[in-house]
Structure 1
Amino acid sequence: MQKRFHTRMRRYGAWLCAALLAGCGAEAQNGSSGETGRLSAVDGWLTLEMTDETSLAVRPAGLLIPVGDEALADAAADALAQIADGRTASLSYPGETRDRYERAIAIVTLDDGTTLQDAMVAAGWARVYSWPGETAGIAELLALEAEARGAGRGLWADPAYRVRTPDPNLLALDLDSVQIVEGRIISTAEVDGRTYLNFGFDYRSDFTVSVEARDRSAFEAAGIELLALEGAEVRVRGWVHAMNGPAITIDHPERLEILSPP
Structure 2
Amino acid sequence: MKPFFYFILIAIGLTYFLISPLFPNQEAVQILSALVFWYGVVYLALAFPLRRALQLVMSWKSKGLLLLSSYLLVHYVAYGLLLERILGMGGVNLFGITYSPVQSVSLSNYLVLLYSPSVAIGNGGFLLDLSFFSLVMGLMIGIVVVGTLIKLLKLKSSIKRDSWIVALPLTGVLAGGTCCVSISGIVAEYGLSALAVGGLAVIGPIDAIYFGLPFLTLASLWLLFETIKDASSEYVSGNNQYLRKTQSCR
Measured against the shorter chain, the TM-score band is under 0.3
- TM-score under structure 1 length normalisation: 0.22
TM-score (norm 2): 0.23
More strand by share: 1
